[in-house]
A and B are shown apart, each in its own frame.
Chain A
Amino acid sequence: MTRPLTVVSLLPELLDTNGDASNARVLAQRARWAGHGASVVPVTAGEALPAAVDAVVLGSGVDADFEAARGALLPLAETLREWVSAGVPVLAVGTGWELLSWGVELADGHVIEGLGVIPGRAVRSPARLTGDLVVSSRFGRLIGFENHARYYVGAEGSPLGRTVSGTGNGSGIEGVIVGSVIGTHMHGPVLARNPALGDHILTVALGRDGRSYARGGRSAEVDEIAKAARNQIAVRLGLATE
């Protein structure tokens, strides 16, 4: 009997404004549907990290909690860096992604240093960017929702994909992939809506243990619902359907 897949959801009390923490639940469900044991371990501020970890999810929070979230992550930074060097997949959404960067420029112009786990920084955009975000990526076309007031610079060499609709990082690209870390502005259950991205993370996570991942039957059914939801947005935006 192998160890169940452990997905760490970091600071869900501070970083789940848009339901991004649900991506941990999505990874665990898809792993279970593929026949693997899986559990989500929420780690709130001040709590210890579990000894074994297979994937990490960080979500987005409100700017008022920015300092608190940063303060809570700082003591974990060293371990996070070790995990990243060891190839543990990390999905970081919105604020959670920005916190892993070199630094973040807040609305008042004040710059907060990030954890420096990945290159690049978040800078103020002239206006809030809210709406559907469509990205062409090596995982296929990804569709999500963005709502942020910052661009991201320094990810030009390693984006998640090119923007087809929406703003993303602000330079025709969206997100970042550095090693096993994926950062994106697509908030909420991005992995449920775009299961190809979720399955990539599961393949990496299980592969580190020499285990293989094959999409389960239940996932295939549920992925049809996700496809219908994506197509609905594609139609609204005048894009081709899948």
Chain B
Amino acid sequence: MRYAPAILIGRVVRRVARWRKPGGGSAIPGLIVNRIAPGFLASTLNSFPEGLVIVTGSSGKSTTTKMLVAVLRANGKKVFTNPSTANISQGLTSALLEQADLTGRIPGDLAVLEMDEGHGALVAATLRPRVVALTNVMVDQIDRFHDSQMVAAMLGRIASRATQAVVINADDEYLSRLAGTLAPAIQVERYGVTAEVLAENPRGLGYAQTSSRRLVSGEGIVVTQVNGRHAELELPEGRATVELPARGTHYAVDAATALATARAVLGDAFDLQSAVKAVSAIPPVFGRGEIATVQGKRVEFVLVQNPASFQLNVDSLEPDTEQVLVAVGSDVRDPSYFWPVDTSGIGRVLIASGSKAHDIALQLAYDDVTVERIEPDLGLALDDFLALPDPARGLKTIIFSADSMRRTRAHLGLATNSEELA
């Protein structure tokens, strides 16, 4: 009952915070509990009978975590997991408070947590995860001023806490090197893509450094083919066809990460068929290639979070897509960031929008993309774009940055992502 007073206080604060601002204030109770009972977070996370699993890396964490949780639940496990927006310490503590009993324990067999590398490295010293899954080292907008070595060092600190296994992306040179530094007793599970799959992504997969060598079957889980939303994977248990939540090699890699991690967690209880079924049932994600019907029109939403995902999405755009809207908002503080991306594959953009409309239009113009109209007012741009008759070729496609995605969702009254629901 050591944490009972802190938990009770946290719950009262949570109720007050909700009463003051419905739906809001979710980090405040966590902040207070962390202050009055600093051991609560680690003690609760370390208390699951079948242990703690951490998913971390520069990108792909949310999808991987979701897939992994689905596989474990399909296997009959009771899993505690964090909503992806709550991966800062206070938010995580708040999420734990929702479910903890007064002894500070949460009912469940195991916990699967998505952590960003910075936060993970800070709390790692207090955690004893059974399995740590590492996705990749990319240079993203917020972290581009920190070098990749620093990100790799943070991931190394988290990985060094694993008691059983570390799951590694074998195509990522930083992670491959990291695997060599682990204690000999720690099992290393690898996943990766074949040379053919890599070759289909002429600009690579966005890793800060790609390994020169590909995995061969038997060394781990290998993505052997990606075809739209279908991927072929080769596992020690056999071959499998997985349905992805959106088009793109990176989703196939997320599926491989989730399956490799599930194998490490479940051991002999891992069942390929049920695992593949669970991964394939992950619903498409809003803003990541999801196709939704809005005001009677079918629209594909594509979220670009960094230059690598922008490039991958441009490259995987259906050729001759007739109606494209590109919106970049204030989250992209310095639009220089996107200029390494070759946008010429888009061909023609009907409207460039968002608070950085002129900047993205300028880049598109230099890439010989025709920009019909620049309309910084996103609401107006969306209304006019949706009002156009259905295109003869391809779907109405909206490519946006995270900030423009939120504004689009609010403007169109679209439901929030299931992944953002607590």
If A128-B145, A225-B361 touch, whether A25 touches B366 (CB-CB below 8 Å) is yes
- B270 contacts partner chain A, Cβ-Cβ < 8 Å: no
If A19-B337, A22-B366 touch, whether A225 touches B148 (CB-CB below 8 Å) is no
Which of B339, B362, B368 makes the CB contact (< 8 A) with A226? B362
Q: Nearest chain B CB to A128's CB is how many angstroms away?
A: 7
Hey, which chain B residues are within 8 Å of A19, CB to CB?
336-340
If A63-B147, A229-B358 touch, whether A187 touches B365 (CB-CB below 8 Å) is no
A145 adjacent to B358 (CB under 8 Å): no
Q: Nearest chain B CB to A65's CB is how many angstroms away?
A: 8
B339 adjacent to A189 (CB under 8 Å): yes
Kindly name the residue among A21, A29, A221, A225 whose own CB sees the greatest number of chain B CB atoms within 10 A: A225
| Closest chain B residue, CB of each to CB of A61 | B147
Chain A residues touching B, range: 20 to 34
**B-facing residues in A22-37 (Cβ within 8 Å):** 22, 25-26, 29
If A16-B340, A229-B359, A232-B358 touch, whether A147 touches B334 (CB-CB below 8 Å) is yes
B334 adjacent to A188 (CB under 8 Å): yes
Within the assembled complex, what's the spacing in Å between the Cα atoms of A64 and B148? 8
- B404 contacts partner chain A, Cβ-Cβ < 8 Å: no
Hey, which chain A residues are within 8 Å of B148, CB to CB?
62, 64
Which of B334, B365, B366 makes the CB contact (< 8 A) with A18? B334
Hey, which chain A residues are within 8 Å of B340, CB to CB?
16, 19, 21-22
Within the assembled complex, what's the spacing in Å between the Cα atoms of A192 and B364? 11
Chain B residues touching A, range: 20 to 34
- A228 contacts partner chain B, Cβ-Cβ < 8 Å: yes
Hey, which chain B residues are within 8 Å of A147, CB to CB?
145, 334
- A121 contacts partner chain B, Cβ-Cβ < 8 Å: no
B366 adjacent to A193 (CB under 8 Å): no
B147 adjacent to A189 (CB under 8 Å): no
If A62-B147, A64-B149, A145-B334 touch, whether A22 touches B362 (CB-CB below 8 Å) is no
A22 adjacent to B145 (CB under 8 Å): no
Q: Nearest chain A CB to B362's CB is how many angstroms away?
A: 5
A64 adjacent to B147 (CB under 8 Å): yes
B339 adjacent to A22 (CB under 8 Å): yes
Hey, which chain A residues are within 8 Å of B335, CB to CB?
188
- B239 contacts partner chain A, Cβ-Cβ < 8 Å: no
Within the assembled complex, what's the spacing in Å between the Cα atoms of A18 and B361? 18
A229 adjacent to B362 (CB under 8 Å): yes
Hey, which chain B residues are within 8 Å of A65, CB to CB?
147
Q: Nearest chain B CB to A40's CB is how many angstroms away?
A: 12
Hey, which chain B residues are within 8 Å of A63, CB to CB?
147
Hey, which chain A residues are within 8 Å of B359, CB to CB?
229
**B-facing residues in A91-136 (Cβ within 8 Å):** 128
Within the assembled complex, what's the spacing in Å between the Cα atoms of A65 and B144? 13
Hey, which chain B residues are within 8 Å of A64, CB to CB?
147-149
Kindly name the residue among B144, B145, B336 whose own CB sees the greatest number of chain A CB atoms within 10 A: B336
- B374 contacts partner chain A, Cβ-Cβ < 8 Å: yes
- A214 contacts partner chain B, Cβ-Cβ < 8 Å: no
Q: Nearest chain A CB to B267's CB is how many angstroms away?
A: 39
A192 adjacent to B358 (CB under 8 Å): no
Q: Nearest chain B CB to A147's CB is how many angstroms away?
A: 7
- B139 contacts partner chain A, Cβ-Cβ < 8 Å: yes
| Closest chain B residue, CB of each to CB of A28 | B366
Hey, which chain A residues are within 8 Å of B361, CB to CB?
225
B366 adjacent to A17 (CB under 8 Å): no
Within the assembled complex, what's the spacing in Å between the Cα atoms of A105 and B339? 28
Within the assembled complex, what's the spacing in Å between the Cα atoms of A232 and B366? 20
Within the assembled complex, what's the spacing in Å between the Cα atoms of A221 and B374? 13
A189 adjacent to B336 (CB under 8 Å): yes
If A17-B144, A21-B340 touch, whether A189 touches B334 (CB-CB below 8 Å) is no
If A17-B139, A147-B145, A225-B358 touch, whether A189 touches B363 (CB-CB below 8 Å) is yes
B362 adjacent to A192 (CB under 8 Å): yes
Within the assembled complex, what's the spacing in Å between the Cα atoms of A222 and B362? 7
A225 adjacent to B147 (CB under 8 Å): no
Which of A16, A29, A228 makes the CB contact (< 8 A) with B366? A29
**A-facing residues in B31-67 (Cβ within 8 Å):** none
Q: Nearest chain B CB to A102's CB is how many angstroms away?
A: 24
| Closest chain A residue, CB of each to CB of B147 | A64
Which of A22, A145, A222, A232 makes the CB contact (< 8 A) with B365? A222
Hey, which chain B residues are within 8 Å of A225, CB to CB?
358, 361-362, 365, 374
Hey, which chain A residues are within 8 Å of B368, CB to CB?
29
B339 adjacent to A188 (CB under 8 Å): yes
A193 adjacent to B362 (CB under 8 Å): yes
Q: Nearest chain B CB to A63's CB is how many angstroms away?
A: 7
Within the assembled complex, what's the spacing in Å between the Cα atoms of A189 and B360? 12
Q: Nearest chain A CB to B401's CB is how many angstroms away?
A: 15
- In the complex, besides A145-B336, A222-B366, A228-B358, 19 extra interface pairs with C-beta distance below 8 angstroms are A17-B139, A18-B336, A18-B339, A26-B366, A29-B368, A62-B148, A63-B147, A64-B149, A145-B334, A187-B336, A188-B337, A188-B339, A189-B336, A189-B339, A193-B362, A221-B365, A222-B362, A222-B365, A225-B365
Write 15 A-B pairs (CB below 8 A) sorted by A numbering: A16-B340, A17-B139, A26-B366, A62-B139, A62-B144, A62-B148, A64-B148, A147-B145, A187-B334, A189-B366, A192-B363, A221-B365, A225-B365, A226-B358, A232-B358
Chain A residues with a Cβ under 8 A of chain B? 16-22, 25-26, 29, 62-65, 128, 145, 147, 187-189, 192-193, 221-222, 225-226, 228-229, 232
